[in-house]
């Protein structure tokens, strides 16, 4: 907070108001009128610059017939923005303004301006106009708030001309009350908090193919028909074809089963016999492939029974499945099912014969492309030779160049219309600094049905980055704790945000909360350019200009664009005022 004296040059102001009848006596006490601004260094908050301007009038000061018009204005290179005007009137004025009576008093005006990037180097000033019922100021007349002087003849002409001429006079007449805007809030790294949606990529996939050798009831003899079935021929063809794939590793098995009808001990022996006869038949089938087969018997095939019943059109299949779930004992299951005579007849015809089998199983592990192979395809523009999961994996886990990531994800998103690709593309665009594109990608992902914690958090963060604070809040309930804290920080609630955030974002929250020790601790291990820059800001605030110089030089060496930012940063004003140059 900084106190300023309005019309500080009393002698001049006494002369100046001789033409404004109601201000003659007021001018004599003008040095007692104080104007303060809180904060005296303005700060960007929620896309706006806000301040509270307080005017304190002394007792026996304000003329009962006087009207004072005060207009706050943000002045910056290439432009200015006027805020809401505040009017003060004496007790005998018949208007509906704020009344200042003979006792004087303190009056506060809240002002706010939509943030413009040019406001980083700016001044908040007050334009003051006066009006008296008689004399030269019957209508509002601009007053030089620094000296108390009324406009000269030339200045009146310039004001009447409007445009740049008028503004030049107004700017000279305006009283500065705050300088610069602290824009640290805009440095919050929303992109760092955004999350990718996981892919389902596996470098090794397992493909299982099966073929059955079917047996007659209670038999373990492989018939000629069973040994020469089309299923077995197709099984062998698959084995031979897979042998030509140098990325494939095959494991072959023979499993013997019995249908779950009849005595359990008998069925155990029967399944073992079938595994042996099935093994011999499989060896004969595959002898020219050189493949070995593992053999095992599994007794009664209740799992196979359950699968076949579930896939069947049997009318009472739900009841059968309930029986399987209710009883663990094989004999109880069989007894209960046989009690449903009509159902059991259908089972004997449609289901049980398929379970009298030796099953050949080929479990093949197929190793995918190496990372280097996939990267080579990407670099040569052959993206069409990669699957969707491969593209998502490469963008998330292998590629480091952001533009290359964007190319891969853009291709995947358009080709496969995959919400995950759009979400992850949004993360990359955010890291590239394209806030609008990032938001549009997240919105597309949501439109395609992606609905999880990640997309809600990303939508909130992208809206924060685009200064859509109210929109960001709509996603807050379903967002993660870090995102909720960043929403708080974007609204100026730095204390609560600092307790949840970590790293660079925690450091910014702590600086804004004036806890510089915690801010330094949060970025102790961060060697990035932006962390060095923030350390320079912290040192500058602490008055440690030597450290500030070293950290700023380090930041600019890593990221040359920070030099222009530093030159306009109010947080580093004292550093440059000391004569420091990059």
pLDDT tens figures, 291-341: 999 998 888 888 888 999 899 988 888 888 888 888 888 888 878 777 776
pLDDT-derived band at 1 (thresholds 50, 70, 90) equals very low
Same domain, 37 and 156: yes
Q: What's the pLDDT band for 9 if we cut at 50, 70, 90?
A: very low
Residues 346 and 453 both lie in one domain: no
pLDDT bin (cut points 50, 70, 90) of residue 4 is low
Position 342 scores a pLDDT of: 74
Judge whether residue 20 has pLDDT over 80. Answer: no
Say yes or no: 328 and 436 in one domain.
no
Q: Is residue 452 part of a domain?
A: yes
Q: Are 418 and 388 contacting, i.e. CB atoms less than 8 angstroms apart? A: yes
The answer to whether residues 6 and 125 touch, using CB atoms and an 8 Å cutoff, is no
User: Collapsing DSSP states into helix, strand and coil, what is residue 37?
Assistant: strand
Is 326 contained in some domain?
Answer: yes
How far apart, in whole angstroms, are the C-alpha atoms of residue 321 and residue 310? 8
Please tell me the predicted confidence (pLDDT) of residue 7: 55
Residue 138 lies in a domain: yes
In a domain, 581, yes or no: no
Distance, CA of 193 to CA of 461 (rounded, Å) = 8
261 and 328 share one domain: yes
Per-residue confidence (pLDDT) for residue 31, from 0 to 100: 81
Instruction: Identify whether the C-beta of residue 45 lies closer than 8 Å to the C-beta of residue 185.
Output: yes
Mean pLDDT of the 489-494 span: 92
Q: Which of 117, 151, 182 is the last residue of a domain?
A: 182
Residue 109 lies in a domain: yes
Residue 6 predicted with pLDDT over 70: no
Where residue 25 falls among pLDDT bands split at 50, 70, 90? confident
Quote the domain boundaries for residue 49.
Answer: 2-182
Question: Is residue 152 a contact partner of residue 104, using CB atoms and an 8 Å limit?
Answer: no
Residue 150: predicted pLDDT: 85
Q: Is the pLDDT of residue 8 over 60?
A: no
Distance CA 540, CA 537 (A): 5
- 436: burial class by Cβ within 10 Å (0-12, 13-18, 19+)? exposed
Task: Report how many domains make up the chain.
Answer: 3
Element (H, E) at 532: helix 529-542
Secondary structure E strands in 29-135: 34-38, 42-45, 48-57, 67-76, 79-82, 86-89, 98-99, 105-114, 122-131
Supply the CATH number for residue 439's domain: 1.25.40.10
Looking at the domain assignment, is residue 563 inside a domain? no
Q: What percent of the chain has pLDDT over 90?
A: 75
Are 226 and 279 in the same domain? yes
- pLDDT for res 14: 44
Higher pLDDT, 400 or 136: 400
Task: For residues 63 and 385, give the distance between their C-alpha atoms in angstroms, rounded to a whole number.
Answer: 85
Report if residue 23 sits inside a domain: yes
* CB of 504 closer than 8 Å to CB of 482: no
Q: What is the per-residue pLDDT for 346?
A: 83
Residue 5 has pLDDT above 80, yes or no: no
Do 79 and 218 belong to one domain? no
Does residue 500 belong to any structural domain of this protein? Answer: no
Domain identity same for 84 and 100: yes
296 and 261 belong to one structural domain: yes
State the average pLDDT over residues 360-385: 96
The CATH number of residue 270's host domain is 3.30.1330.60
Indicate whether 15 and 45 sit together in one domain: yes
Average pLDDT over residues 150-171: 94
458: pLDDT confidence band, cut at 50, 70 and 90?
A: very high
Where on the phi/psi map is residue 88: left (φ > 0), alpha (ψ -120 to 50), or beta? beta
> According to the model, what pLDDT value does residue 10 have?
42
Domain boundary among 430, 460, 480: 480
Find the Cα–Cα–Cα–Cα dihedral 169, 173, 178, 180, rounded to 10°. Answer: 20
Q: 300 with 316, same domain?
A: yes
What average pLDDT score do residues 520-530 get?
97
The rounded distance, in Å, linking the Cα atoms of 235 and 211 is 6
What's the confidence (pLDDT) of residue 341? 66
pLDDT of residue 366: 92
| Block residue for tokens 């395809």 | 377
The kind and range of the H/E element at 274 are helix 264-286
Neighbours of 344 (CB within 10 A): 17
* Per-residue pLDDT reduced to its tens digit, 336-366: 777 776 778 888 888 999 999 999 999 999 9
448-459 average pLDDT score: 92
Average pLDDT of the segment spanning 88-103: 93
Tokens 């663990």 locate to 328
b/e per residue 282-314 (b: at least 16 CB within 10 A): beebbeeeebebebebbbbbbebbeebbeeeeb
373 contact partners, CB below 8 Å, separation of at least 6: none
Cβ neighbours around 29 below 10 Å, total: 17
Residues 269 and 282 in one domain: yes
**Host H or E run for residue 311:** none
Instruction: Name which of 68, 177, 86 is nearest 129 in CA terms.
Output: 68
DSSP string for residues in 392-442: HHIIIII---HHHHHHHHHHHHHHH--HHHHHHHHHHHHHHT-HHHHHHHH
Mean pLDDT, rounded, for 86-100: 94
pLDDT in tens, 241-258: 999 999 999 999 999 999
- Given strand 204-214, what is the order of strands in its sheet? 204-214, 357-367, 248-258, 293-300
d(CA 109, CA 152): 30
pLDDT at 19: 64
**Domain end (from 342, 367, 392):** 367
For residue 68 the two structure tokens come to 């004072």
Q: What is the pTM of this model?
A: 0.75
312 lies in the same domain as 260: yes
């Amino acid at each position: 907070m900084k106190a300023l004296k309005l019309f500080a040059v009393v002698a001049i102001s006494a002369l100046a108001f001789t033409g404004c009848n109601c201000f003659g006596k007021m001018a004599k006490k003008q040095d007692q009128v104080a104007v303060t601004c809180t904060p005296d260094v303005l700060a960007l908050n929620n896309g706006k610059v806000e301040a509270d301007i307080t005017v304190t009038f002394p007792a026996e000061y304000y003329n009962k017939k006087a009207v004072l018009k005060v207009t706050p204005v943000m002045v910056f290179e290439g432009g200015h923005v006027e805020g809401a005007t505040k009017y003060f009137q004496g007790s005998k004025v018949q208007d509906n303004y704020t009344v200042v009576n003979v006792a004087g008093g303190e009056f506060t005006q809240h002002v706010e301006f939509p943030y413009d990037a040019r406001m980083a180097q700016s001044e908040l000033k007050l334009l003051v106009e006066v009006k008296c019922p008689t004399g030269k100021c019957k209508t509002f007349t601009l007053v030089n708030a620094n000296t108390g002087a009324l406009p000269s003849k030339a200045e009146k002409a310039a004001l009447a001309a409007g445009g740049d001429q008028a503004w030049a006079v107004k700017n000279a007449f305006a009283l500065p009350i705050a300088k610069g805007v602290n824009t640290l809030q805009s440095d919050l790294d929303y992109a760092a908090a955004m999350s990718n949606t996981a892919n389902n990529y596996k470098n090794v996939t397992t493909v299982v193919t099966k073929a059955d050798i079917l047996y007659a009831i209670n038999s373990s003899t492989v018939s000629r028909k069973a040994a020469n079935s089309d299923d077995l021929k197709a099984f062998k063809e698959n084995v031979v074809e897979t042998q030509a794939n140098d990325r494939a590793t095959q494991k072959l098995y023979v499993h013997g089963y019995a249908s779950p009808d009849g005595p359990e001990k008998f069925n155990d022996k029967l399944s073992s016999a079938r595994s042996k006869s099935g093994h011999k038949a499989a060896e004969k089938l595959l002898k020219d492939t050189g493949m070995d087969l593992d053999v095992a018997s599994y007794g009664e095939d209740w799992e196979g029974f359950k699968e076949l019943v579930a896939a069947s059109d049997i009318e009472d299949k739900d009841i059968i499945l309930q029986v399987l779930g209710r009883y663990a004992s094989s004999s109880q299951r069989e007894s209960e099912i046989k009690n449903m005579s009509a159902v059991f007849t259908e089972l004997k015809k449609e289901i049980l014969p398929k379970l009298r089998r030796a099953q050949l199983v080929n479990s093949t592990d197929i190793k995918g492309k190496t990372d280097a192979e996939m990267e080579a395809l990407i670099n040569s523009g052959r993206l069409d030779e990669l699957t969707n999961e491969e593209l998502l994996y490469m963008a998330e886990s292998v590629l480091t160049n952001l533009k290359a990531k964007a190319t891969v994800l853009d291709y995947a998103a358009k080709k496969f219309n995959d919400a995950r690709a759009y979400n992850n593309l949004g993360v990359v665009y955010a890291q590239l600094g394209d806030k609008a594109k990032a938001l549009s990608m997240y919105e597309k992902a949501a439109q395609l049905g992606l609905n999880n914690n990640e997309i809600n958090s990303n939508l909130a963060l992208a809206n924060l980055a685009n200064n859509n604070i109210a929109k960001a809040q709509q996603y807050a309930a379903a967002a993660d704790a870090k995102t909720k804290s960043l929403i708080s920080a974007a609204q100026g609630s730095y204390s609560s945000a600092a307790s949840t955030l970590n790293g660079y974002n925690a450091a910014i929250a702590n600086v804004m909360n004036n806890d510089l020790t915690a801010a330094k601790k949060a970025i102790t291990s961060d060697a990035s350019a932006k962390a060095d820059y923030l350390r320079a800001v912290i040192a500058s605030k602490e008055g440690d200009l030597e450290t500030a110089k070293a950290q700023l030089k380090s930041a600019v060496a890593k990221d040359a664009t920070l030099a222009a930012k530093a030159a306009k940063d109010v947080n580093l004003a004292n550093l440059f005022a000391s004569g420091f140059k990059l």
